[in-house]
């Protein structure tokens, strides 16, 4: 089964063609970072306008890369939510139009399920059930995953998502957007123990997260400093971001391992843009191996938004005969 997958939930226009939900024939992503950079975050109106410009060239490129004509596609998978409604609507309307015009089966996919499915693009995927951590710009959630379509949410952020915290701290220090990859790089030469930022754990047994207090602690640190951030010596910037990153990672690792222990599961899957973070990948593997747990993390390009992961989940549903009607709508929030 050859599936065309389309993803436009935030600021990346993505299209991919997958064979039997596993083999990537093409996977194209057009990033809008250069557009949103000067605002330090995604501007929804600009994001949807850019999707309109990019959707046809990106889908065309994906089909060309797969060496297939649209009529040779067996089904279409498209992100239906959660995300920015104006952005989702572009990919969704386009997918519905070609499904109608070419009489192809269509299925709407939950973006978070897409992230959790990205690991099946890798060579040695995990067996169900496993613990799935989704950490991105919009989400920080822990799930027990018993199969495609079988998710039990164990915890989620009560305020900011982890990626959002990375982006806000980078903006505060004038480092650029998106903040995650910049902080990841700068932290390598910083001292993670230089500043002891709080590790918000909420109640002892809670698997929920909270990152707004940590963000405020960084804001207060910057305010208490006699100079503005643009005059900080490079070493101070590196130490602030490295200490901040350490606090985020400490909490993510601790709670994910606790979830595995609570659920008596041996496998952990990381996903979402923040799972591209090199220190998080390393620390999760180290601490999990002490507990004899196996950690599975997609390659960084499958962690950040892409259409291939939407194709993996879409395939599972199309294969089972599931179809979405042409009345399919976009949703800013869409629980799994
Ligand atoms: O999954 P994603 O591409 O989009 C959403 O669904 O939100 O995630 C984007 C988020 C951004 O907040 C970005 O700063 C963060 O993932 N991110 C990272 C890294 N790469 C991307 N955070 C930490 N370290 C990274 N290397
Ligand atoms: Zn995402």
Q: How far is the CA of 40 from the centre of ligand 1 (A)?
A: 14
Query: What pLDDT score was predicted for residue 40?
Result: 84
Residue nearest to atom 23 of ligand 1 (CA): 180
Query: What pLDDT score was predicted for residue 205?
Result: 86
Ligand 1 atom with least separation from CA of 278 = 26
Query: What pLDDT score was predicted for residue 333?
Result: 95
Residue nearest to atom 3 of ligand 1 (CA): 304
Is it the case that residue 202 has pLDDT exceeding 90?
A: no
Query: What pLDDT score was predicted for residue 44?
Result: 95
Q: Which ligand is nearest to the CA of 302?
A: 1
Ligand 1 atom with least separation from CA of 276 = 26
Calpha distance 236→218 (Å, rounded):
13
What is the rounded average pLDDT for all residues in the chain? 96
Question: pLDDT band at 263, cuts 50/70/90?
Answer: very high
3-state SS track over the chain: CEEEEEECCCCEEEEEEEECCCEEEEEEEEECHHHHHHHCCCCHHHHHHHHHHHHHHHHHHHHHHCCCCHHHCCEEEEEEECCCHHHHHHHHHHHHHHHHHHCCCEEEEEHHHHHHHHHHHCCCCCCCCEEEEEECCCCEEEEEEEECCEEEEEEEECCCCHHHHHHHHHHHCCCCCCHHHHHHHHHCCCCCCCCCCCCCCCCCCCCCECCHHHHHHHHHHHHHCCCCHHHCCHHHHHHHHHHHHHHHHHHHHHHHHHHHHHHCCCEEEEECHHHHCHHHHHHHHHHHHHCCCEEECCCHHHHCCCCHHHHHHHHHHHHCCCCCCCCCCCCCCCCC
Q: How far is the CA of 67 from the centre of ligand 2 (A)?
A: 27
Calpha distance 133→161 (Å, rounded):
12
- For residues 229 and 236, is the Cβ–Cβ distance under 8 A? no
- Mean local confidence (pLDDT), 65-72: 98
Given ligand 1 and candidates 33, 136, 306, which is best to mutate, with the most ligand atoms within 8 Å of its CB? Answer: 136
Residue nearest to atom 14 of ligand 1 (CA): 180
Given ligand 1 and candidates 188, 248, 273, which is best to mutate, with the most ligand atoms within 8 Å of its CB? Answer: 273
Given ligand 1 and candidates 134, 173, 274, which is best to mutate, with the most ligand atoms within 8 Å of its CB? Answer: 274
CA 96 to chain centre: 24
Q: How far is the CA of 198 from the centre of ligand 1 (A)?
A: 22
Q: Which ligand is nearest to the CA of 163?
A: 1
Query: What pLDDT score was predicted for residue 7?
Result: 98
In the structure, ligand 2 is a single-atom ion and the residues with CB under 5 Å from it are 136, 305
Ligand 1 atom with least separation from CA of 138 = 7
CA-based radius of gyration for the chain: 20
More confident residue, 312 or 37: 312
Q: Which ligand is nearest to the CA of 310?
A: 2
Given ligand 1 and candidates 32, 81, 117, 166, which is best to mutate, with the most ligand atoms within 8 Å of its CB? Answer: 166
Cβ-count burial of 327 within 10 angstroms (0-12 exposed, 13-18 middle, 19+ buried)? exposed
Q: How far is the CA of 171 from the centre of ligand 1 (A)?
A: 14
Q: What is the pLDDT of residues 80-100, one digit of tens each?
A: 999 999 999 999 999 999 999
180's tokens: 């995650």
Q: Which ligand is nearest to the CA of 176?
A: 1
Is it the case that residue 201 has pLDDT exceeding 80?
A: no
Nearest to 252 by CA among 293, 290, 215, 209: 209
Q: How far is the CA of 111 from the centre of ligand 2 (A)?
A: 6
- Mean local confidence (pLDDT), 272-285: 98
Q: Helices 162-172 & 234-263, crossing angle to 10 degrees?
A: 170
Lookup result for tokens 């099946």: 120
The share of the chain scoring above pLDDT 90, in percent, equals: 96
Q: How far is the CA of 115 from the centre of ligand 2 (A)?
A: 6
Centre a 10 Å sphere on the Cβ of residue 335 and count the other Cβ atoms it contains. 12
Instruction: Please report how many Cα atoms fall inside a 13 Å half-sphere around the Cα of residue 43, on the Cβ side.
Output: 12
Where does ligand 1 bind, in terms of residues with CB under 6 Å?
10, 136-138, 163-164, 166-167, 178-181, 184, 272-274, 276-277, 304-305
Lookup result for tokens 């024939």: 25
Question: Which CA distances in Å does 4 have to 74, 95, 109, 303?
Answer: 8, 9, 12, 19
Query: What pLDDT score was predicted for residue 136?
Result: 97
């Amino acid at each position: 089964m050859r599936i065309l997958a389309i993803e436009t939930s935030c600021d990346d226009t993505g299209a991919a063609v997958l064979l039997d939900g596993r083999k990537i024939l093409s996977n194209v992503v057009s990033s809008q970072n250069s557009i949103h950079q000067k605002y330090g975050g995604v501007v929804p109106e600009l994001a949807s306008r850019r999707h309109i410009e990019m959707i046809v060239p990106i889908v065309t490129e994906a089909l060309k890369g797969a060496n297939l004509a649209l009529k040779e596609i067996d089904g279409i998978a498209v992100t239906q939510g959660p995300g920015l409604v104006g952005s989702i609507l572009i990919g969704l309307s386009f997918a519905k139009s070609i499904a109608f015009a070419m009489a192809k089966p269509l299925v709407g996919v939950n973006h978070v399920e897409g992230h959790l499915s990205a690991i099946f693009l890798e060579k040695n995927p995990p067996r169900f059930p496993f613990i799935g951590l989704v950490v991105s710009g919009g989400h920080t959630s822990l799930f027990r995953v018993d199969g495609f379509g079988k998710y039990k949410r164990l915890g989620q952020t009560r305020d900011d998502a982890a990626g959002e915290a990375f982006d806000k701290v980078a903006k505060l220090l004038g480092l650029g957007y998106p903040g995650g990859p910049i902080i990841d790089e700068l932290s390598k030469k910083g001292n993670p123990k230089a500043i002891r930022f709080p590790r918000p754990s909420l109640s002892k047994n809670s698997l929920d997260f909270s990152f707004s207090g940590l963000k405020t602690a960084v804001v207060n640190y910057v305010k208490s400093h006699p100079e503005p951030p643009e005059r900080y010596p490079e070493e101070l910037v590196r130490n602030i971001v490295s200490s901040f990153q350490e606090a985020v990672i400490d909490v993510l690792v601790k709670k994910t391992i606790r979830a595995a222990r609570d659920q008596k599961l041996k496998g952990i899957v990381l996903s979402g843009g923040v799972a591209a973070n090199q220190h998080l990948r390393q620390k999760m593997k180290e601490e999990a191996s002490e507990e004899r747990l196996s950690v599975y993390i997609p390659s960084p390009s499958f962690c950040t938004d892409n259409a291939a992961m939407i194709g993996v989940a879409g395939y599972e549903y199309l294969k089972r005969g599931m179809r979405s009607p042409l009345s399919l709508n976009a949703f800013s929030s869409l629980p799994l």
